[in-house]
């Protein structure tokens, strides 16, 4: 855990990139645990839509809602890496952002069911307005380029929130998706605009740990969702023969997903803004697919007991598609920077095989085999087989 820091009560100075023993704080971990409630709601609604045969509606709704979840989480994480003072005002602002995440989560079912994003957007705006306050505090505590960057962030984030309020109130249903893309691009443009004068002082080790912690929590939520689905099916149908291959395959996928992500530290790759931002933005697909694996397992379970209105192949794809996306994305962000020789190609090949796997159990076996092959190659290369 992080060591206690003493601050002067008013200062929100940039923290050093070379700071020793920098680790995620209890407040950050609490933030993640509360934030995953929104992830769970998005995954649950995705599973419900897919099981009901509403593939396009479910996937689009999931992509839209998950963008808000991911972007708010990521902005908090990078700000904390640069300016976490862990004093009373900082903690209160973080609690406000947690409250916003819970409001967002409460609105997810309505967003999926009726396309009504008012509650979801309200929660998102609450989180973002709290972050604006944090950036203004950073601006007041600094001068020069750091002050300019903080003011640019505050202005950019605030302006985009005005857009979201108008989008929530005045945009007709048929234009929702196109105008959402406009707002999404505006959100993504804020860091590009804000960091032109200088880069914020994020910490490579802290960022790598924060992303790893959230990946871990999202994978845990997928296991939880699948477990609840299996329990419900067993209680109602006692269909153990149909369920055990799905449960076994799902566990193998989740266990392998953990092993693959944490096989090697990526901290050394995060040497500059360009590498770190590509890595950080790419985690949208990591988090998205990790949560969708749990939703897919729910669909597979519901199909096995005759409750899903989709074909068997579609139910299997609900698991294999996000699993393949996860494997390929983790390879693109992590493995290709830390492996060499034949080990470099294990994950992309496995992703293709998983994508075309006929059952969830086969997909799980392929994922486990990819871990085993990777360990064997590392042993032959004379490396630590644990990594």
pLDDT of 164-217, one tens digit each? Answer: 999 888 676 678 888 999 999 999 999 999 998 888 888 888 998 999 999 999
Pair 210, 149 in one domain? no
pLDDT (0 to 100) of residue 383: 63
Pair 164, 213 in one domain? no
Which residues lie closer than 8 Å to 268 by C-beta, 6 or more apart?
A: 204
Pair 292, 190 in one domain? no
Indicate which CATH number applies to the domain containing 358: 1.20.1410
Q: Note whether 44 and 225 are within 8 A (CB).
A: yes
Q: Roughly how many angstroms between the first and final C-alpha of the chain, as a whole number? A: 23
User: Over the stretch 91-102, which tens digit does the pLDDT of each residue have?
Assistant: 999 999 999 999
Q: Note whether 363 and 323 are within 8 A (CB).
A: yes
Phi/psi zone of residue 25: left (φ > 0), alpha (ψ -120 to 50 degrees), beta? beta
CA dist., res. 140 & res. 370, Å (int): 51
Pair 121, 255 in one domain? no
pLDDT (0 to 100) of residue 1: 41
pTM: 0.89
**Residue at a domain's end among 194, 218, 247:** 194
pLDDT (0 to 100) of residue 237: 60
The half-sphere exposure of 95 on its side-chain side, counting CA atoms within 13 A, is: 7
Q: Residue 236 falls within a domain, yes or no?
A: yes
Note down the domain range covering 141. Answer: 26-194
**Residue at a domain's end among 194, 224, 247:** 194
Compute the average pLDDT of residues 274-302: 91
Q: Residue 14 falls within a domain, yes or no?
A: no
Instruction: Identify the weakest region by mean pLDDT among 132-141, 202-211, 313-322.
Output: 202-211
Pair 141, 249 in one domain? no
pLDDT (0 to 100) of residue 264: 77
What is the total count of domains within the chain? 2
Q: Residue 67 falls within a domain, yes or no?
A: yes
Q: Residue 385 falls within a domain, yes or no?
A: no
Pair 209, 324 in one domain? yes
Pair 116, 216 in one domain? no
Pair 94, 219 in one domain? no
Q: Residue 199 falls within a domain, yes or no?
A: no
Which residues lie closer than 8 Å to 56 by C-beta, 6 or more apart?
A: none
**Residue at a domain's end among 168, 194, 220:** 194
Pair 334, 258 in one domain? yes
Pair 291, 183 in one domain? no
CA gyration radius for the chain? Answer: 21
Pair 188, 210 in one domain? no
Q: Residue 158 falls within a domain, yes or no?
A: yes
Buried b (16+ CB within 10 A) or exposed e, 198-228: ebbebbbbbbbbbbbbbbebbbbbbbebbee
Positive or negative torsion for Cα 33, 35, 39, 41? positive
CA dist., res. 72 & res. 77, Å (int): 9
Pair 248, 348 in one domain? yes
Torsions phi, psi for 251 (to 5 deg) = -65, -40
Q: Residue 116 falls within a domain, yes or no?
A: yes
Buried b (16+ CB within 10 A) or exposed e, 28-55: beebbebbbbbbbbbbbbbbbbbbbebe
Q: Which of 98, 47, 78, 80 is nearest to 283 (CA)?
A: 78
Task: Reply yes or no on whether the pLDDT at 372 is more than 70.
Answer: yes
Q: Residue 134 falls within a domain, yes or no?
A: yes
Which residues lie closer than 8 Å to 293 by C-beta, 6 or more apart?
A: 219, 222, 250, 253, 254, 257, 319, 322, 323, 326
Q: Which of 152, 158, 179 is nearest to 168 (CA)?
A: 179
pLDDT (0 to 100) of residue 70: 95
């Amino acid at each position: 855990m992080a060591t206690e820091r003493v601050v002067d009560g008013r200062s929100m100075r940039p923290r050093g990139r070379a700071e020793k023993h920098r680790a995620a704080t209890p407040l950050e971990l609490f933030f993640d645990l509360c934030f995953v409630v929104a992830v769970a709601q998005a995954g649950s609604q995705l599973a419900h839509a897919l099981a009901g045969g509403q593939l396009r509606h479910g996937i689009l709704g999931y992509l839209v809602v998950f963008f808000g979840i991911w972007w708010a989480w990521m902005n908090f994480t990078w700000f904390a890496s640069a300016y976490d003072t862990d004093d009373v005002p900082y903690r209160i602002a973080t609690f406000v952002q947690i409250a916003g995440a819970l409001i967002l989560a409460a609105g997810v079912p309505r967003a999926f069911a009726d396309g009504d994003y008012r509650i979801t957007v309200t929660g998102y705006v609450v989180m973002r307005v709290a972050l604006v306050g944090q950036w203004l505090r950073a601006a007041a505590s600094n001068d020069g380029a750091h002050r300019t960057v903080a003011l640019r962030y505050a202005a950019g984030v605030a302006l985009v929130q005005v857009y979201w309020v108008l989008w929530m109130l005045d945009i007709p249903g048929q234009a929702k998706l196109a105008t959402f893309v406009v707002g999404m691009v505006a959100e993504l443009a804020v860091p590009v605009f804000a960091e032109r004068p200088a880069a914020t002082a994020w910490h490579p080790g802290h960022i790598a740990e924060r992303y790893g912690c959230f990946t871990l929590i999202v994978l845990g939520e997928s296991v939880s969702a699948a477990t609840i689905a299996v329990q419900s099916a067993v209680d109602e149908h006692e269909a153990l023969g149909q369920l055990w291959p799905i449960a076994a395959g799902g566990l193998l996928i989740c266990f392998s997903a953990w092993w693959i992500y944490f096989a090697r530290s990526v901290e050394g790759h995060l040497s500059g803004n360009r590498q770190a931002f590509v890595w950080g933005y790419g985690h949208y697909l990591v988090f998205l697919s990790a949560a969708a694996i749990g939703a897919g397992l729910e669909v597979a379970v519901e199909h096995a007991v005759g409750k899903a209105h989709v074909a068997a192949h579609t139910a299997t794809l609900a698991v294999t598609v996000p699993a393949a996306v996860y494997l390929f994305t983790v390879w693109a962000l992590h493995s290709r920077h830390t492996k060499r020789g034949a080990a470099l190609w294990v994950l992309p090949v496995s992703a293709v095989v998983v994508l075309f796997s006929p059952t969830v159990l086969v997909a799980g076996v392929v994922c486990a085999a990819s871990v085993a092959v990777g360990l064997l190659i590392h042993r032959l290369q004379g490396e630590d087989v644990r990594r």
